[in-house]
């Protein structure tokens, strides 16, 4: 487990607490992703691991070594920036070999490592070009090559794909996954795009306001969110939420009455009694039209994607409810429906956002 | 179309006239310099060259300390240019990229000194050099000319505009401030550096007031100061004065012709700062 370990990490810029008590561990060779809304502190956390930002408290370990106060170049990390940050006056090969030059590595060693990185990244034909002569995707590959050449224990990526167009982003995402398999080094990746997080990560860390809200395997976070924030953040389109009041509670769950209908959620643990407020969450793919019960809605528009469609409907209380349909393409626009879901697919949350399991 | 033509002709006319006005003194100086002193002051010495008499050039080269002045000018200007660029760049780097108390105040001082005309500093500077016992010494000529705030300001603006990630990439690659400055930032701004180098060189080549005040030993003078000696030692010897003046201006003119584009750039950069 000698990957990256953070213990009680804190960071304050003056009076602003940006990172509050973060402890996490990314095993060696894992692909960890920090994800969260803008301003949640993910870049700051990554930069602290890189050593570009000093820590206000806590301990950072890389490969079992305490690096909290070690200078960036000696931590065994390499970073890939969103803006690439290539050296414009140097060729691709010189860009990639710059760190080895500074370290006064022998020339043949440097050239061999640069060639190897170029081979992995399919940049061999571009080694003599200047960055300005490359496309965005190629530039990002050079930036990754610059990291590979240093043979770091940990690769750090701060939104490396967000300057690329959508198609290239998907392609680079696959390349990153392949690269990770090939190199096997620990990688930490920052993004605000939960799709990127889901597709790349072995472990996702969902951050909000300087806290880790939940961490774990992407599908675990999807299937079993700890709180309303994670439930809403992971998954696209997001989970539907409706608030209601508990009308019945028994061993297997509770029934909540919303403004317009009734839904049953499975809750095995402690649960609030009748009269308590709850928020119910249902993913779009778990909602389907039912004959009786459920939530009455009026369909507004459908996003037809071919294989599936996302139907946007409005409930009587005015909230937007999305559900997914496959195969059946009959138009529903303007129709009134009742939507229901199996009790084990309905998540219950307290009004404060905690999960009732 | 014809309107366009007329405009072009008019513009060409204006440019040519301006050019003629600009070149006339040089032309006259040249015509004078190839005449004998007697011919220069005689009646009917017109604007047309009517005599080719290189005596004044020979005189200027061999009977004055012109060669010494040349060497002095080249030496001091080169030293001043290099030192101004290196210190200016380093100072700007510190002001732009490093965190230390008093940084803003220091920059304000630089800005303020940019507003103070050099002439007003002559008396205290002279007093200072006197106390340091640098009158009639190379140090005395060079030191006060090393302060060129505009160089610091231009470099600082350039450094300020560079993305922070570039610096961080260097830090992660294992480089320090010197690596960043001399192996990344400097190669990124050769244009600015040559431009600033050219204006600094021309400024110190043409500097008159300060070198004139601080040096009285003839063989330590720079060319602009040396010219005054030609006047004094031989009375008003127009031909010789003009030939010395032309020889003095020659390097700058040649440099200008070679680096024309860069000089224009340089003037624009430094006046852009002046606003
Ligand atoms: N140098 C700094 N000084 C003061 N506050 C800072 C500094 N750097 C970041 N912050 C603040 O810290 C918070 C977290 O910033 P950070 O860059 O880590 O966010 P992020 O999660 O990466 O967001 P984004 O997705 O927009 O990149 C923000 O509120 C930001 O304003
Ligand atoms: Mg960020």
Can you give the CATH number for the domain in which A18 is found?
Answer: 3.40.50.300
- Determine the pLDDT at residue A125: 94
CA angle A30, A36, A38 (to 5 degrees): 135
Strand partners, A249: A254
Predicted complex ipTM: 0.86
Nearest-CA residue for ligand 1 atom 16 is A41
- Given A210, A233, A256, the domain boundary residue is A233
Range of the domain at A344: 240-356
- Given A211, A233, A255, the domain boundary residue is A233
CA–CA gap between residue A156 and residue A160 (Å, rounded):
10
Encoded tokens for A86: 């290539």
Which residues in chain B have Cβ-Cβ distances shorter than 8 Å to A86? 169
- Answer for the pair A1, A25: CB distance below 8 angstroms, yes or no: yes
- Determine the pLDDT at residue B231: 65
pTM (2 d.p.): 0.85
- Given A233, A248, A275, the domain boundary residue is A233
Find out whether the beta carbon of A44 lies less than 6 Å from any atom of ligand 1: yes
Read off the pLDDT of each residue in B158-177 and give the average, rounded to a whole number.
Answer: 93
Nearest-CA residue for ligand 1 atom 28 is A39
CATH for B64-274 is: 1.10.3720.10
Q: Are residues A201 and A276 in the same domain?
A: no
The total number of structural domains in chain A stands at 2
User: How is residue B144 annotated by DSSP?
Assistant: G
Strand order in the sheet with A31-35: A77-80, A154-158, A186-191, A31-35, A203-208, A211-216
Summarize pLDDT for B22-79 with one digit per residue, the tens: 999 989 888 888 888 778 878 777 888 887 888 888 888 888 888 899 899 999 999 9
Find how far residue B244's CA is from the centre of its chain: 18
Burial class (CB in 10 A: 0-12, 13-18, 19+), A137: middle
Closest atom of ligand 1 to CA, residue A34:
21
With 60 as the cut, is the pLDDT of residue B12 above it? yes
With 70 as the cut, is the pLDDT of residue B159 above it? yes
Strands A295-304 and A336-340 turn out to be antiparallel
With 70 as the cut, is the pLDDT of residue B181 above it? yes
| Structural element, H or E, at residue A353 | none
Contact A102 B163 (CB under 8 A): no
Residue A88, number of CB atoms within 10 A of its CB: 13
Q: Are residues A69 and A217 in the same domain?
A: yes
Q: Are residues A105 and A171 in the same domain?
A: yes
From residue B219, give the alpha-carbon distance in Å to each of A340, B65, B135, B225, B235. Answer: 102, 7, 14, 11, 20
Nearby residues of A217 by Cβ (< 8 Å), 6 or more positions away: A201, A202, A203, A204
Q: Are residues A175 and A97 in the same domain?
A: yes
More confident site: A236 or B237? A236
Q: Are residues A206 and A298 in the same domain?
A: no
Find out whether the beta carbon of A41 lies less than 6 Å from any atom of ligand 1: yes
Contact A81 B168 (CB under 8 A): yes
- Determine the pLDDT at residue B198: 86
Mean pLDDT by 10 residues, chain A (357 residues): 89 93 95 94 95 94 94 94 93 96 94 94 94 93 94 94 89 92 94 92 95 95 95 93 89 81 87 89 93 88 89 88 87 87 92 91
Q: Are residues A301 and A177 in the same domain?
A: no
Encoded tokens for A236: 């696209």
Q: What sign does the CA torsion over A172, A176, A177, A183 have?
A: positive
Burial A50-78 (b: 16+ CB within 10 A, else e): bbbbebeebebbbeeeebbeeebbebbbb
Find out whether the beta carbon of A192 lies less than 6 Å from any atom of ligand 1: yes
- Answer for the pair A312, A336: CB distance below 8 angstroms, yes or no: no
Task: Give the CATH number, domain containing residue A348.
Answer: 2.40.50.140
Encoded tokens for A321: 């409810």
- Determine the pLDDT at residue B275: 36
Ligand minimally distant from the alpha carbon of residue A17 = 1
With 60 as the cut, is the pLDDT of residue B136 above it? yes
- Determine the pLDDT at residue B62: 84
Q: Which of B161, B169, B182 is best to mutate for the A interface (most A CBs within 10 A)?
A: B169
- Answer for the pair A232, A238: CB distance below 8 angstroms, yes or no: yes
Read off the pLDDT of each residue in B113-135 and give the average, rounded to a whole number.
Answer: 89
Q: Are residues A208 and A265 in the same domain?
A: no
Find out whether the beta carbon of A18 lies less than 6 Å from any atom of ligand 1: yes
């Amino acid at each position: 487990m000698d990957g990256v370990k953070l213990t009680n990490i804190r960071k304050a810029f003056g009076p602003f607490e940006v990172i509050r008590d973060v402890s996490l561990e990314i095993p060696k060779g894992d692909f960890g992703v920090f994800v969260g809304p803008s301003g949640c502190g993910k870049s700051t956390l990554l930069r602290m691991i890189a050593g570009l930002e000093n820590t206000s408290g806590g301990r950072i370990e890389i490969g079992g070594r305490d690096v909290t106060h070690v200078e960036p170049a000696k931590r065994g990390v390499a970073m890939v920036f969103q803006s690439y940050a290539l050296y414009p006056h140097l060729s691709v090969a010189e860009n990639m070999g710059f760190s080895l030059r500074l370290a006064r590595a022998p020339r043949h060693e440097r050239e061999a490592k640069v060639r190897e990185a170029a081979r992995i990244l399919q940049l061999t034909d571009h080694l003599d070009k200047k960055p300005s002569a490359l496309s965005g995707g190629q530039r990002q590959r050079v930036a990754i090559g610059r990291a590979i050449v240093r043979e770091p224990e940990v690769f750090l990526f701060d939104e490396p794909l967000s300057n690329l167009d959508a198609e290239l982003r998907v392609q680079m995402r696959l390349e990153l996954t392949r690269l990770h398999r090939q190199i096997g080094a620990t990688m930490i990746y920052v993004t605000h795009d939960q799709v990127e997080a889901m597709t790349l990560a072995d472990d996702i860390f969902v951050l909000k306001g300087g806290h880790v809200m939940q961490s774990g395997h992407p599908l675990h976070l999807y299937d079993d969110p700890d709180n309303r924030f994670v439930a809403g953040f992971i998954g696209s389109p997001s989970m539907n939420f409706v608030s209601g009041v508990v009308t019945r509670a028994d061993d297997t769950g509770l029934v909540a009455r919303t403004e317009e209908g009734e839904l049953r959620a499975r809750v095995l643990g402690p649960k609030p009694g009748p009269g308590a407020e709850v928020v119910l969450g249902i993913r779009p793919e778990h909602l389907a039209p039912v004959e009786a019960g459920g939530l009455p809605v009026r369909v507004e528009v459908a996003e037809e994607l071919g294989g599936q469609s996302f139907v946007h409907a409005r409930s009587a209380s005015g909230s937007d409810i999305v559900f997914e349909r496959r195969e059946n393409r009959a138009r529903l626009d303007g129709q009134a429906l009742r939507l229901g879901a199996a009790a084990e697919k309905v998540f219950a949350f307290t009004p404060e956002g905690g999960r009732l399991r | 179309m014809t309107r366009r033509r007329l405009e072009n002709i008019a513009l060409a006319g204006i440019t040519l006239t301006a050019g003629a006005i600009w070149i006339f003194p040089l032309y006259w100086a040249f015509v004078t310099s190839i005449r004998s002193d007697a011919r220069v002051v005689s009646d009917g010495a017109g604007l047309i060259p009517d005599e080719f008499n290189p005596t004044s050039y020979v005189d200027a080269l061999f009977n004055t300390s012109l060669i010494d002045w040349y060497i002095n000018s080249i030496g001091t200007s080169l030293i001043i240019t290099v030192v101004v660029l290196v210190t200016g760049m380093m100072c700007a780097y510190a002001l732009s990229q490093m965190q230390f108390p008093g940084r803003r105040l220091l920059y304000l001082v630089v800005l303020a000194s940019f507003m103070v005309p050099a002439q007003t500093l002559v008396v205290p500077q002279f007093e200072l050099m006197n106390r340091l016992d640098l009158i009639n010494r190379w140090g005395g000529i060079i030191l006060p000319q090393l302060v060129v705030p505009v160089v610091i300001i231009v470099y600082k603006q350039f450094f300020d505009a560079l993305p922070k990630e570039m610096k961080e990439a260097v830090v992660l690659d294992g480089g320090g401030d010197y690596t960043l400055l001399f192996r990344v930032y400097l190669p990124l701004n050769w244009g600015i550096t040559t431009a600033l180098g050219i204006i600094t060189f021309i400024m110190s080549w043409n500097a008159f007031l300060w070198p004139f005040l601080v040096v009285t030993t003839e063989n330590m003078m720079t060319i602009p100061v040396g010219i005054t000696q030609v006047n004094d030692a031989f009375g008003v010897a127009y031909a010789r004065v003009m030939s010395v003046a032309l020889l003095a201006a020659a390097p700058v003119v040649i440099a200008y012709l070679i680096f024309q584009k860069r000089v224009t750039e340089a003037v624009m950069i430094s006046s852009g700062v002046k606003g």
